[in-house]
């Protein structure tokens, strides 16, 4: 059973480094740059941890989305964990709602950078993200982190990028 779970998670586990952000937003930098795809490589030798990701969708008109949302989080050293689709089996990313997603992924500590991705697959695919929080449970304990986003992903604009990064890593 564990081997099937590990094989299923293999596609979710990526380690990468990416470019720095372009503009400042409140507590951190926000960027809509796509990470260098050539630098993404799976690492199945790392231990797995339990992640709980909590998203809060804003209350603005049109804030909710039905698009597929992915998430990558990383630490200052560039170690990262990637979840290809945030899905809890319920309606999620609805205006004014808080959603919780429980997943397994590569253990990464001291998370400080978060990138949200959208496939923008619906006519009204924009999403207004208030916050993203993560709790990581490892064999050594737990760690929590919250990113204040307060931004659209993407804003209703054909030229908009489909990625949004909040970087609070120490420089």
- Per-residue pLDDT tens for 35-82? 444 444 445 566 899 999 999 999 999 999 989 999 999 999 999 999
This prediction has a pTM of: 0.72
Is 169's pLDDT higher than 90? yes
Rg value, the chain, Cα: 15
More confident residue, 105 or 160: 105
Closest CA to 11 of 76, 113, 104: 104
Is 171's pLDDT higher than 80? yes
Count of domains observed in the chain? 1
Is residue 131 situated within a structural domain?
Answer: yes
pLDDT, position 13:
33
Range with the poorest average pLDDT among 10-14, 92-96, 162-166: 10-14
pLDDT, position 127:
92
pLDDT, position 156:
58
- Per-residue pLDDT tens for 118-167? 987 776 778 999 999 999 998 778 999 999 999 998 765 665 678 899 99
pLDDT, position 25:
35
Tokens of 82: 């990637």
> Taking every pair of C-alpha atoms in the chain, what is the biggest distance, in angstroms?
45
Tokens of 79: 């170690």
Is residue 41 situated within a structural domain?
Answer: no
pLDDT, position 139:
78
Is residue 101 situated within a structural domain?
Answer: yes
pLDDT, position 157:
61
pLDDT, position 43:
54
Is residue 42 situated within a structural domain?
Answer: no
Closest CA to 9 of 85, 64, 88, 76: 85
Is residue 8 situated within a structural domain?
Answer: yes
Which residue range is the domain that position 63 belongs to?
A: 2-36+47-167
Closest CA to 168 of 70, 34, 76, 58: 76
pLDDT, position 160:
64
State the CATH number of the domain containing residue 91. 2.60.60.20
DSSP 11: T
């Amino acid at each position: 059973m564990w081997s099937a779970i590990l094989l299923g998670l293999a596609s979710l586990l990526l380690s990468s480094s990416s470019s720095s952000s372009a503009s400042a937003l409140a507590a951190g930098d926000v960027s809509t740059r796509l990470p260098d795809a050539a630098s993404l490589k799976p690492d199945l030798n790392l231990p797995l941890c339990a992640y709980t990701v909590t998203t809060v969708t804003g209350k603005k008109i049109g804030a909710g989305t039905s698009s597929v949302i992915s998430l990558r989080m990383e630490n200052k050293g560039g170690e990262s964990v990637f979840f290809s689709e945030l899905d809890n089996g319920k309606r999620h990313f609805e205006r004014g709602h808080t959603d919780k997603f429980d997943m397994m992924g590569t253990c990464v500590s001291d998370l400080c950078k978060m990138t949200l991705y959208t496939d923008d697959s619906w006519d009204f695919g924009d999403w207004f993200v208030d916050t993203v929080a993560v709790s990581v449970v490892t064999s050594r304990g737990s760690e929590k982190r919250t990113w204040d986003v307060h931004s659209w992903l993407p804003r209703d604009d054909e030229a908009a990028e489909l990625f949004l990064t909040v970087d609070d890593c120490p420089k």
